[in-house]
Amino acid sequence: MSACYCGSGKSYEACCGRLHSGAENAASAEALMRSRYSAYVLKLEDYLLATWHPDTRPAELDLDADDTKWLGLDVKKHVQQDETHATVEFVARYRIAGKGYRLDELSRFVKQDGRWYYRDGELR
């Protein structure tokens, strides 16, 4: 079993793989954010769109044309404001055409009908 891409220390099958397969929904905004990071690594466009809040979801993604190589995720903070709102601050490292970058974001999540959705994010 391989380690999960999200850096949780669990195997992919026991972590984000369960969410990607639809076996279960994310139990928290942090779990959803981690699974979305892993989905970017694996180019799982359908999963990313399905977990994006309908109010802010793009019409489509084209990750096949994207040559981003994701290198790692560091979750800085997860704050649950109330039952249906949470934020996750994280840094994701990646490389494009050999040049390294950092994505430092404070992401906002909402819970609707028992499921967490990515709403939007603010770059730091």
| Residue 11 belongs to some domain of the structure | no
The whole domain housing 35 covers 16-123
Q: What is the pLDDT of residue 64?
A: 86
Work out the pLDDT band at 27, boundaries 50, 70, 90.
very high
Work out the pLDDT band at 108, boundaries 50, 70, 90.
very high
Mean pLDDT, range 52-75, rounded to an integer: 94
Q: What is the pLDDT of residue 38?
A: 98
pTM beyond 0.85? yes
| Residue 4 belongs to some domain of the structure | no
In whole angstroms, how far apart are CA 11 and each of 7, 20, 62, 110?
A: 9, 13, 27, 27
| Residue 64 belongs to some domain of the structure | yes
Distance, C-alpha 81 to centroid of its chain: 19
- Whichever domain contains 27, its CATH number is 3.10.450.50
Work out the pLDDT band at 110, boundaries 50, 70, 90.
very high
| Residue 1 belongs to some domain of the structure | no
Q: What is the pLDDT of residue 66?
A: 85
Is the pLDDT assigned to residue 4 strictly greater than 90? Answer: yes
Phi-psi region of 22 (alpha: psi -120 to 50; beta: other; left: phi over 0): left
Specify the number of domains making up the chain: 1
For the chain, percent helix, then strand, then coil, each to nearest 5?
25, 40, 35
| Residue 2 belongs to some domain of the structure | no
| Residue 82 belongs to some domain of the structure | yes
| Residue 3 belongs to some domain of the structure | no
pLDDT per position as a tens digit, 60-71: 999 988 899 999
| Residue 110 belongs to some domain of the structure | yes
